[in-house]
Structure 1
Amino acid sequence: MTRTIVITGASDGIGAASAKQLAQLGEEVVVVGRNPDKTARVARALGVDSFVADFSDLAQVRELAASLLERYPRIDVLANNAGGVFGDRTVTRDGMELTFQVNHLAPFLLTNLLLDRLRESRASVIQTSSAAARFPGFDVDDLQAERRHSSTSAYGHAKLANVLFTKELHRRFGDQGLSAVAFHPGVIASSFGSTSNGPWKWLYGGPLAQRLMTSTSVGGARLTWLALGKPGVDWQPGGFYANNKPARTNRLADDPVVAKQLWERSAVLAGVEG
């Protein structure tokens, strides 16, 4: 049976690579991106549907969810892949720190708005996290990085939030048929980091670094492996993966109290039922 697979952040990078791989295998892929031209170009090349949503604006996330619910009676896989690392601390029109909103709060909101459809479909929810989740200093009382901010810490903490969200999603809804997993795609040779400064811009922008990085097709294949895999057989729900294998991450990722606190505070910020 052909499955409906929604991939955010699919206008380039590993999202676009995975969308291509899955479409070539006959799956019904839905491409979501921030840039209208790039998103349309990817979708047109694959002959699939596309939607545009900028995750720095939660109203657009709500519009995206409404459109997906109207269009698709089933959503078998939701890949929360959109994200990025940014420079100086910036506040969105929603009043949130940009890195936190784009990487965590927006996908948290999207998943919650689609939750009934995802449960009905016994879906897999995949979070593109990062090995940067190990960055120390995560503070559930300072999610907006008002006390202390750097592009590195903000990104690392948002990626840890992805893993905590995954584990809490599994705890809350795993017995209802929903399967959640997070993964590190590798250090990918893409435009990622181009909007940042300091070490991130150097790491992703230099020609030597690009040659040493993992290709988008390989990183995309790791997302594709999870999307195609059978939960409980190929991968374990609630887990964190790297190179298609279970991996260790920040010790806080296994703290159910922190995960519950993050969920409850995210629900308040996103305006959804906690």
Structure 2
Amino acid sequence: MGARGRRLPRLRRVPAQDRPGDPGRPGRAEALSGDGPVVVVTGASDGIGAAAARRLHRGGARVVLVGRSPEKTAAVAADLPGARWTTVDLGRLDDVRRLAAELAELSGIDVLVHNAGASFARRELTVDGHERTAQVDHLAPYLLTRLLEEPLRASRARVVTTSSFMHWVGGSRRGHLLDGTGPYLATRAYARAKWCNVLFTRELARRWAPEVTATCFDPGAVATSFGAASGGITGLAFRTPLTAFMRTPAQGADTLVWLATAEEGWRNGRHHADRSPTWTALSARDDVRARELWNRSARLVGLPS
């Protein structure tokens, strides 16, 4: 039975013979076939996420693709024999909870990749009452990680998050994290969300070590549809001839794949670029802010800190 035009209730297995663009068929979230690591990649329908999923699959990983568009996500999965896929709207926390319940049915999760992200030209509130950029880029992955704590700990998993060099201009003062006050600037909202990714990684590594390790990375300026659709100065830069000098999605995904698979070289709780730990803004190394962000995020998504 086809699934075009509706949200899919279960993870999908896409047989090798399915054509790209086929929206797939219903399936159950039983154990993935094979013996490679189970890697869940959000934002896998395009750009960096799709490129990373392809490389991880070629390397023997059992890949679960998560995207917003059923058609685009299924099209990527159709090229990866044995891959599973599902959809999520990160602008709805109930949908994130549904996704977490699906993923928890897997036999285990070895790597959870938070790659999905967005930037919006105007201030918008989600159905949950949060500024949309903050929810999609930070609160939703925070909630998903928290809800998957048990399987992640059991698998001694890695959590890899796509951040950005933009975090350098996204810091907030102590006591004012995620307060959403002041005029809305698209680039500022995106930078602050990426700053939250760095702090979240730091605090996650501290709280859940040694069972769970956490890293984040800057993919660099990558010519993707995400950039062109972004608001503010970021979107303008991606709608000019400058994209000819930007990285390809495959180049942008290189550090992501390395963090997900390398035995050594990466640093738990650290930010990385070009396969190496790199400096972050001083405010993104503040353990007081990191704890505050964790606790504030917990309250906003209805979880104990």
Fold shared by both chains (TM-score > 0.5): yes
Cα deviation per residue 1:100-150 (whole Å; 9 max; x = unaligned)?
000000000000000110000000000100000000552452514232320
Alignment partner of 1:260 is 2:291: yes
Residue among 224, 227, 249 paired with 1:216: 249
- Residue 147 of structure 1 aligns with which residue? 182
Residue among 198, 206, 231 paired with 1:163: 198
- 1:78-227 equivalences under 5 Å are 78-139=112-173, 140-175=175-210, 177-206=211-240, 208-227=241-260
Assess if the C-alpha contact under 8 Å between 1:9 and 1:83 holds in 2: yes
Q: 1:24 to 1:2 in 2, by over 3 A?
A: same
Cα deviation per residue 1:19-42 (whole Å; 9 max; x = unaligned)?
000111111011000111101111
Task: Quote the Cα distance in structure 1 between the aligned partners of 2:110 and 2:231.
Answer: 37
Q: Name which structure has the greater RCO, CA cutoff 8 Å, separation 6+.
A: 1
Structure richer in helix, relative to its length: 1
Task: Quote the Cα distance in structure 2 between the aligned partners of 1:18 and 1:197.
Answer: 25
- Residue 56 of structure 1 aligns with which residue? 91
Q: Secondary structure of the equivalent of 1:10? A: coil
Q: Secondary structure of the equivalent of 1:194? A: helix
Alpha-carbon offset, residue 74 of structure 1? 0.9
RMSD: 1.2
Assess if the C-alpha contact under 8 Å between 1:86 and 1:151 holds in 2: yes
Alpha-carbon offset, residue 195 of structure 1? 3.1
Task: Quote the Cα distance in structure 2 between the aligned partners of 1:250 and 1:198.
Answer: 22
- Residue 250 of structure 1 aligns with which residue? 281
Assess if the C-alpha contact under 8 Å between 1:87 and 1:197 holds in 2: yes
Task: Quote the Cα distance in structure 2 between the aligned partners of 1:74 and 1:45.
Answer: 23
- Residue 267 of structure 2 aligns with which residue? 236
Where structure 1 has 5 or more consecutive residues not aligned to the other structure, the ranges are none
- Residue 10 of structure 2 aligns with which residue? none
Higher Cα Rg, which structure: 2
One-letter code aligned to 1:62: R
Residue among 77, 81, 85 paired with 1:43: 77
Assess if the C-alpha contact under 8 Å between 2:114 and 2:160 holds in 1: yes
Assess if the C-alpha contact under 8 Å between 2:227 and 2:234 holds in 1: yes
One-letter code aligned to 1:178: V
Q: Secondary structure of the equivalent of 1:193? A: helix
Task: Quote the Cα distance in structure 2 between the aligned partners of 1:255 and 1:197.
Answer: 28
